[in-house]
Amino acid sequence: MLFLGALAVLPGCQRYWLCDEQEPARTEQLAERLSDTGLYSDLASDTLSPGVSPYRPQFALWSDGADKRRWVSLPAGSVIDTSDMDNWLFPQGTKLWKEFSVTGRRVETRLLYKAGSTDDTWIALSYVWNEAETEAVAAPWGVVDARGDHDVPAAGECMACHAGRKGRVLGFSALQLAEPADAPPSADAPAALSLHELIAEQRLSNVPSEPLSVPGNEVERAALGYLHANCSHCHNQDRPQSDNARCFDPKKPYDFTLSVSALDSPQSTPTYRTAVGSAFKPGDPEGSKAIDLVSDRGMFKQMPPLATEHVDALAVANLRAWVQALP
């Protein structure tokens, strides 16, 4: 540990965990209060603004068990450039929100806003709810242990994950919206925007040529979906060029993307092509480095490395079952 500590402070050495601060001038373009960001027409009654739609990805990022709600707002009449079906490019003015609740109480709502026409103009900021949940206020430097042990990321940390994808948006994609999430619609989570609705509303420049379905049996689909939602924003072979906001550049050539063009069979997915046999040893969960990493939390040994302090036991159990069954 001492040696690693020394490495950590030596200038010039490769420190993938070192991120840049989001420039204050960018953060200051966003409202100070959540109620002024355009999400709600009436925050007190939880009434969304016109043009704001809830959505739910079929595979969710693990956030230590926090409950999440998500919304998107596309500028009126705008179209998403979907010429690359794995990397949607959003119109200027697009906003996405994600709300986190712990033990039934709202903790934070994160906002992603595309301020310009290019993908390096995305701005990220988290808003932290007050005790009475009557308002949430911008927290550009994040919060340690909000409502227990939930950590709210600093604005500069958001692009550690989001800048690993060309379009910066992770959970709102063709694959993620192709099939409904497991949870049925409810008062808290009304019917969500789907790929089908986006096509019907002519919001996509290109449409998938055939229905998108994750291949494999239930265990395989869950494993591939978990890796896509939790790992592929860093571990993919199509990362954009660094724009100084990005960190956590993996050196291993793994790719955990569920690519729209590679859904014929589990074996055709990038996960099987790049990680099965190396990070995942068929029939040997104990000897699989990737399972070891997702099963642990700590300063130098955990995956994903950010925004989680608790192991996703369900996902680990499923990954183990998947690896055990691999031929």
Partner 1 sequence: MTPDLQSLTPPGADTLIIAEHVNFGIAGAPFDVGTLSEAKGQALSFVSDAWYQLSAETWVGLRLPLIAASVRQPAGSYLDESAWGNPELRFAKRFTLAQQPRLTLRLSVGGGIGLPVAEHDRSLMPNRALAIANALQGFAEPELFTPGELPFTPFAQLDCGSGPFRALALLKLPALFRVSDADLPATQSDPHAFGLMPVLVLEARYSFTRHFGVALASQLTIDALPPSEHIRSVPVAQFTLRGSPYFEFGERGALFIDLQAPVAGALGGSTVALGLRGAVQF
Q: Looking at beta carbons only, is 139 or 219 nearer to partner 1?
A: 139
Residue type, 187: A
Say which DSSP state 173 is in: S
Q: What angle do CA 210, 163, 252 make, to 5 degrees?
A: 85
Of 90, 248, 280, 322, the one binding partner 1 by CB under 8 A? 248
Rounded to whole angstroms, the Cα distance separating 77 from 183 reads: 30
Of 28, 32, 42, 145, the one binding partner 1 by CB under 8 A? 145
Name which of residues 19 to 78 contact partner 1 (CB under 8 A).
19-21
Of 153, 167, 266, 270, the one binding partner 1 by CB under 8 A? 153
Binding of residue 171 to partner 1 (CB under 8 A): no
Of 52, 53, 84, 141, the one binding partner 1 by CB under 8 A? 141
Name which of residues 176 to 235 contact partner 1 (CB under 8 A).
none
CA distances for 109 relative to 35, 37, 69, 105, angstroms: 11, 11, 9, 12
Rounded to whole angstroms, the Cα distance separating 29 from 11 reads: 32
Rounded to whole angstroms, the Cα distance separating 249 from 251 reads: 6
Binding of residue 81 to partner 1 (CB under 8 A): no
Of 299, 313, 314, 325, the one binding partner 1 by CB under 8 A? 299
Q: Which stretch binds partner 1 (CB under 8 A): 30-38, 140-148, 198-206, 265-273?
A: 140-148
* 3-class DSSP state of 286: coil
Rounded to whole angstroms, the Cα distance separating 308 from 63 reads: 6
Say which DSSP state 266 is in: G
Q: Looking at beta carbons only, is 9 or 132 nearer to partner 1?
A: 9
Q: Which stretch binds partner 1 (CB under 8 A): 4-12, 201-209, 237-245, 276-284?
A: 4-12
- In the complex, minimum distance from the CB of residue 8 to partner 1, in angstroms, rounded to a whole number: 4
x/- letters, 98..137, toward partner 1 (CB under 8 A): ------------------------------x---------
Strands laid side by side in the 52-54 sheet: 52-54, 67-73, 95-102, 105-114, 122-129, 136-138
The residues, any chain, with a CB within 8 Å of residue 163's CB and separated by 6 or more, are: 240, 243, 245, 246
Q: Looking at beta carbons only, is 189 or 306 nearer to partner 1?
A: 306
Say which DSSP state 276 is in: B
Binding footprint of partner 1 on the chain (CB under 8 A): 1-2, 5-6, 8-9, 11, 15, 17-21, 128, 139, 141-146, 151-154, 156-157, 160, 247-248, 299, 305-307
